[in-house]
Amino acid sequence: MSVSRSYGRGAAILSLGIGATGIITFAYFSLASYSLSKEDYGHITLLWSAVFITVSVLYRPVEQLLSRTIADRDARGVQGSEHLRIAATIQLALGVLFAVVALALRGPIENDLFGGSSTLYWILVVSVLAYAVSYFARGYLAGHRQFMLYGGLVLMEASTRCLFALAVAIGIAEGQSAVALGMAAAPIVSLAVVPLALAHRLAPRADAGADPDPALLDAAAREEPAAREPEFTLANGAGFAAAVLLIMLCEQTFLNAGPLLVKATEGSGGAALAGFTFNVLLIARAPLQLFQAIQTSILPHLTRLRASGESDPFRRSVNLTLIAIAGFAGCVAVVMLAAGPALMDLLFGGDFDYERGGLVLVSIGMGLYLSAATLNQALLAHGLSAQAAACWVSAAAAFVLFLLLADFDDRVLQVELAFVAAAALLSAALYGLYRRA
């Protein structure tokens, strides 16, 4: 199978699995919104934000590191497992770092963020530690192009989480804690796919011992730069992971800083308003989950193309992805313009007043943000992680400063405007860097 066909097939498989995951995630929050009070639901969204800010910042760098490194080594025919040991060392260190910080800050986290709930605090701790293994598995699966198992992992995770909210909705269980427990159970149950992945890798393969790509060998013979990838060491692995960690921190700032700042600045009613803001940003968050299908498959795909010196297919893959994102975002914006408030009321109840214009703004911002994420993967494939991280940090800083310094009576509108403007700034900066690359 050609590299391009493999990418298309992998993206299609992942789109089905992660598309279903996005729908199930919507169902989780919809069931929770109907089953819990505004305050309790607000704390569920804050727990979600805290968990996924933390795991995305800490663990997705290793997922991306594994995905890129495994794809590059496979394309070049490099043997050995030192890259797995190095990635596991980095992941273990990050998990220990989180545990130490979480235990040291238990008081502020439990009392200030979760309103004194020790249950929510321990669910946070268990969830984040379980995701260390989950994200390592995701990087391994993506790098080896085992996209069906990757899709199964994330689908099983979302389904497990949703079952807990469903149990509360139909009366089998009750309360905020039962809904929240799904966040801890989900990553643990999803690891059931790992034995299948290992069995697949250990099974005899028809192409075992096959030669590397002839185009790559030709590039090596000519001593082209693409054929001289540095030896993978803990130092350069940690450097790549550190740059991607900054990118992930900025990504979570875009998606979660709005609700968290609303909670921090709005006093006693902050949790409920934070939940409302979170619901609005789900227009961007849910498609981002679907986009993970593209994001997960495009990095190893582009890495293989770069390793074999195929610049034209590289550019075509990026351009087609950007065109597809523009079309998708345009469709979402039209739907939000026509029926956005009614759809949001249907999904989350009629207790909140959703503004049509704000929903359209977030839809536009979503398209810009997904375009930036695509360009980011292209830059990571080129090895420009540090330069990409600088673009992300600048845009995220502008986003937070706008939220902190601008004087808006309507805090939700302020978050919407900040998201669109910062996404536009980010996509423009990354596009300029990509053109130079």
How does DSSP assign 365-379, residue by residue? HHHHHHHHHHHHHHH
Q: Given this model, what pLDDT does residue 209 score?
A: 45
176 half-sphere exposure, CB direction, 13 A CA radius:
20
Q: pLDDT of 321-375, one tens digit each?
A: 889 888 888 888 898 888 877 777 777 765 667 778 888 888 898 889 999 999 9
| Inter-residue contact 422 to 402 (CB < 8 Å) | yes
Structure confidence at residue 126 as a pLDDT band (50, 70, 90): very high
Q: Which residue has the tokens 């010196």?
A: 309
The conformation of residue 213, written as its DSSP 8-state character, comes to P
State the distance between the two ends of the chain, measured CA to CA, in whole angstroms. 28
Q: Given this model, what pLDDT does residue 271 score?
A: 64
Q: What mean pLDDT comes out for the span 309-328?
A: 84
Largest CA-CA distance found in the chain, in angstroms, rounded: 68
Token pair listed for 435: 């053109």
| Inter-residue contact 157 to 190 (CB < 8 Å) | yes
Least confident of 7-16, 26-35, 146-155, 418-427: 7-16
Q: Given this model, what pLDDT does residue 406 score?
A: 77
| Inter-residue contact 344 to 355 (CB < 8 Å) | no
Query: What is the Cα–Cα distance from 48 to 279, expressed in whole angstroms?
Result: 12
Structure confidence at residue 227 as a pLDDT band (50, 70, 90): very low
- Residue 203 in this model has a pLDDT that exceeds 70: no
Nearest residue to 228 (alpha-carbon basis) of 76, 373, 7, 103: 76
Written as one letter, the residue type at 131 is: Y
Token pair listed for 197: 């992945």
Nearest residue to 403 (alpha-carbon basis) of 234, 281, 310: 281
Q: Note the pTM of the prediction, 2 decimals.
A: 0.74
Helix (H) or strand (E) holding 107: helix 106-108
Nearest residue to 413 (alpha-carbon basis) of 316, 312, 276: 276
Q: pLDDT of 254-268, one tens digit each?
A: 877 777 777 666 655
Structure confidence at residue 293 as a pLDDT band (50, 70, 90): low
Share of the chain above pLDDT 90, in %: 21
Q: Given this model, what pLDDT does residue 231 score?
A: 62
- At residue 174's C-alpha, the angle toward residues 172 and 175, to 5°, is 160
- At residue 160's C-alpha, the angle toward residues 154 and 164, to 5°, is 145
- Residue 15 in this model has a pLDDT that exceeds 80: no
Each domain of the chain, given as residue ranges in start order, spans: 3-436
Structure confidence at residue 432 as a pLDDT band (50, 70, 90): very high
User: How many CB atoms are closer than 10 A to CB 391?
Assistant: 25
Structure confidence at residue 2 as a pLDDT band (50, 70, 90): low
Written as one letter, the residue type at 173 is: A
Token pair listed for 88: 């596991």
Q: pLDDT of 419-431, one tens digit each?
A: 899 999 999 999 9
What is the three-class DSSP state of 257?
Answer: helix
Residue 34 φ/ψ, nearest 5 degrees: -75, -30
Share of the chain above pLDDT 70, in %: 81
Written as one letter, the residue type at 280 is: V
